[in-house]
Structure formats: structure tokens, C-alpha cells
Amino acid sequence: MLTIADQTFSSRLFTGTGKFSSAKEMESALIASASELVTVALKRVDLKGKDDDILHHLKYPHINLLPNTSGVRNAKQAIFAAQLAREALETNWIKLEIHPDPKYLMPDPIETLKATEELVKLGFVVLPYIHADPVLCKRLEDVGTAAVMPLGSPIGSNKGLRTIDFLEIIISQSRVPVIIDAGIGAPSDAAKAMEIGADAVLVNTAIAIAKDPTNMAIAFKMAVEAGRMAFESKLGAQTHYAAASSPLTVFLDEEF
């Protein structure tokens, strides 16, 4: 079981709600994923209405909503967005995303640390999306972050774990859960993240843009479980010289 702040999770697969071709398809995929933490962009939530489409499709007892601040560009905007989200969704959890860059959506380390510190003081459970920067992770810990969410590769790129050398350092040093957040493009990437010891992964694009999102969600669910189980069962080391699985005998020598 994974624990973040005061919440425990059976599933280590977190998901997002963007890019699905319909809300119906999104609902089907997210249910299939068994994900218990689903991030939703504040903008998608109808802050005034009652029948907001996305929220309507996410009303399941096992699903915890994780509003995100996508679209904000500095700490001040992020804090305001978090407060709006808290009121609208009645949760003090916030996925902090501050990316001033509209092309690659890379996160801002300075504003993210500043906003995390402030939001923690305001009583939020903060999960910041960050570059795979080991020192920033430690600094976020120091100001009370609930977890860290380093990226595997640029958001939406499906490139997988291009930052793996740094993710391994982050995992080895972290006192809070490490959730790999962006770039995971295939179940094998999710499995790999879990194998190196990540606590969870967040997957959105790769599920949403698959030809069959619901089955892809199931594939990710299994891959995350497989990777976690492999981590716990301890993989052997890579070796340089080959070593046969089958005995290397020359048992027929005498006969030829």
C-alpha cells in the first residue's frame, strides 16, 4: 500500500483526464485502470454549474480527485488556482504545475518551490510536478511537500524515462513518495519506473490517445503491478559476459 499524506492507495497508477475523445471514453478507461487518484485541470471544471461533465463522470467512491494548476505561470497564480480548486472540489490536495513555457511545458523550479512552501502553510497537500532535479526534490521535502512528481520526459511526448539516471538518484534519496509524472508512453515505461523503485506513476496521454483507451488502461494497470512486484522480488544485475541459462556442457563431445 502506498501512503501519501493521510491517504492510502491500493493502486500505484495515477491517471489524468486530458485528451480523451469523449467523457464517456474517459470514464470507461479510468474505471478500467482502477486508478484511485485522478488529476483534473481546474479549467475543465465548471466552477459555477452543477452538472459539470467531467466531474459527473468521475463520481466513484474509489476515485480521489487531484485538481491541477495547469495553465498558471507563477507561484501567485498557482496559489490562487489552488484555492479556487479547494472550494470547487472540496479537497485540499493539489497537483502543482507551473510551466511558463507554452511549447515544452517544462516546469519552473523556482516558482514551484515558492508555491509549495506557501501552499503547505495554507494547509494544502501539495504534489508538485518538477524536472528530475535531485536537489529540488530535497528542497521541496524541506518545505513540506507530500510527494515529488519528477518528469520522465517532456509532457505528452511518450518518450519514456529519458531522465532515468536522475530518477534513480531521486528515489535513492527521497523521504517522500516519488511519482513519475510525464512522458510515460507505454506500459513498458510504467513497468520500468516501478522496477527502479518509483512509488507510483501518473499516465494520461498514452492512455487517452490509444486506439482502445480502455484496454490500454488495463495494460497500464497490469504493467504497474508487474513492475512493482519485480521491484519487491528484486531483479538480478545486468552482466557483461553472457551466462547460459542452460548448462554449457560439451556433453556430446565424446561422440563426435
How big is the site for its own copies, counted in residues (CB under 8 A)? 106
Main-chain phi, psi angles of 139, to 5 degrees: -70, -35
121 counts as binding its own copies under rule CB under 8 A: no
Q: Which is nearer to its own copies, 5 or 164 (CB)?
A: 164
131 counts as binding its own copies under rule CB under 8 A: yes
Coil, strand, or helix at residue 141? helix
Q: Draw the binding track, 90-119, toward its own copies (x: CB under 8 A; -: no contact).
A: -------x-xxxxxxxxxxxx--x------
Of 39, 64, 116, 174, which one interacts with its own copies (CB under 8 A)?
39
Residue 256 corresponds to which amino acid? F
Q: Is 69 annotated as a binding residue?
A: no
Ordered strands of the 149-150 beta sheet = 149-150, 125-130, 93-96, 64-68, 37-41, 13-16, 200-203, 179-180
Q: Is 71 annotated as a binding residue?
A: no
Kindly indicate which of the ranges 6-14, 49-57, 58-66, 235-243 contains the residues binding its own copies, using the contact rule CB under 8 A. 235-243
120 near 145, Cβ under 8 Å? yes
Q: Which is nearer to its own copies, 36 or 97 (CB)?
A: 97
Q: Is 204 annotated as a binding residue?
A: yes
13 counts as binding its own copies under rule CB under 8 A: no
204 counts as binding its own copies under rule CB under 8 A: yes
Please name which of 59, 177, 166, 75 lies closest in space to residue 117, comparing C-alpha atoms: 75
Provide the annotated active-site residues. Answer: 95
